Amino acid sequence: MKSRVIQEESDPTTSAPADAEPSIVEAPRSANGGPATVVAAQDITRQYGAGETAVHALRGVSVDVAVGGLTAVMGPSGSGKSTLMHILAGLDRPTAGDVRIADIQIGTLGDTQLTKLRREHIGFIFQFFNLLPMLTARENIVLPLSIAGQKPDTAWVEELTTAVGLGDRLSHRPSQLSGGQQQRVAIARALVSKPTVMFADEPTGNLDSKTSGEILTLLRDSVSGYGQTTVMVTHDAHAAAIADRVLFLADGLIVKDIGHSTAREILDALEEVTAA
């Protein structure tokens, strides 16, 4: 799979490349033009239940996600990584603490405002793809736009579908596509509205290793090519190896925060945090 994005490699740690499509809502930048924070969590805790049976999924997590990079969140089962992502994405509310997405304090938002925020700033990629079975691949891709009542930009959709490698499968329904193809549709769907931040929840969790590799390449390319800020939850070290930054959670706390690493280094780090 050779996509156009690959030839447009640029340094993912800097701001979005000049030739990237402008976002619908410009990602916030700091005064000096350096990388700005698109998602910020301050001291969040999340508790399920109460009293003796209470489960503390998060025990005080603070994290900033900078614009343009790919952040992987890792950790053993039950470490709270999924909860963290749900809260950062505004799907779940913290028991305590503040979350800001694109400089908007989401703790106080009502359902309609939160929905509007999702429309404008957030894209999702799911472990089980979550495509609508009755819609074709193309219809699934442009769904976020039609929900928002916007007309899809044909050239942009064209570019996206080529980039994710779906050119000739656009009129197929999800049931006629392989798992990898379905996830490609899901990635295109997440990118179509040029969100401020894209969340991926175990994007390779339901795929074989070869397909996983392809999907990870595609994800990496979209971060690099479009400067798409992405947060990915995964328990797969190979997946985390494409990230610019890897956060490790254990027992509801961030225990390690490292930059781009190899799969081997990540496995060692995971071993270390799990043992601790």
Partner 1 sequence: MIGVALKGLLGRKLRATLTGFAIVLGVAMISGAFVLTDTLGKSFDGIFNESYKATDAVISSKAVVGSDTGSEAPAFGDDVLSQVQALPGVRVAQGSIEDKTRLVDSDGDAIGNAGEGIAFGIPPSADQSLNPLKLVTGQWPQGDGQIAVDKSTADKEHFRVGQTVGAFGEGPIRDYRISGIVRFGSVGSIGKTTITVFDLATAQTLFDKVGKLDTIRVGANPGVSDAELVKQITPLLSQTTQVKSATAQAAADSSETQDGLNIIKYALLGFAGIALFVGSFVIANTLAITVAQRMRELATLRTLGATRRQILGSVILESVVVGLLGSVIGLFLGVGIAAGLTALLKATGVDLPDHSLVLSMRTIVVSLGVGTLIALLASLRPAVRATRVEPIAAVREGAVMPASRFARYAVPTSAVVGTASIALFSYGVFASDVDIKTRMVTLVAGVLLMFVGVAMIATRIVRPLAFVLGAPGARFGGSAGKLARENAVRNPSRTASTAAAVMIGLALITFVAVIGQGLKSSFSDAVNTLFVADYSVSAGANGDPLTSKAADAVATAPGVSAVSQMRSGEAKVGGKTIFVTGVDASLTKVVDVEWKSGSNAVPAQLGTTGAFVVERYADDNSLKVGSPLAIETPTGQVIRVHVTGIVDPPKGGSPFGEVSISNAAFDASFANHDNEFTFVNVDGGPSEANTAVLEKSLAGFPAAVVETRDEFRTSRTSDITQTLQILYALLGLSVIVSLFGVINTLVLSVFERTRELGMLRAIGMTRRQVRRMIRHESIVTALIGAALGIGVGMFLAVLTTTALSQYGVVFSVPYGTLVVFVGIAILAGMLAAILPARRASRLNVLEALQYE
Whether residue 120 contacts residue 196, with contact meaning beta carbons closer than 8 Å, is answered with yes
For the bound state, the minimum distance from the C-beta of residue 96 to partner 1, rounded and expressed in Å, comes to: 18
Whether residue 37 contacts residue 66, with contact meaning beta carbons closer than 8 Å, is answered with yes
169 binds partner 1 (CB under 8 A): no
194 binds partner 1 (CB under 8 A): no
What is each CA distance from 164 to 88, 169, 184, in whole angstroms?
Answer: 26, 11, 6
CA proximity to 147, closest of 187, 182, 109, 118? 118
Identify residues 45-84 at the interface with partner 1 (CB under 8 A): 82
The counts of H helices and E strands in the chain are 9, 10
146 binds partner 1 (CB under 8 A): yes
For the bound state, the minimum distance from the C-beta of residue 115 to partner 1, rounded and expressed in Å, comes to: 5
Among residues 1, 55, 96, 132, which is the contact residue for partner 1, using CB under 8 A? 132
Whether residue 212 contacts residue 238, with contact meaning beta carbons closer than 8 Å, is answered with yes
Query: Given the complex with partner 1, which of 8 and 139 has the nearer CB atom?
Result: 139
Residue type, 261: S
8 binds partner 1 (CB under 8 A): no
Q: Applying CB under 8 A, which residues contact partner 1? A: 82, 86, 91-92, 111-112, 115-116, 118-120, 122, 124, 126-128, 130, 132-135, 139, 143-144, 146-149, 189, 193, 201
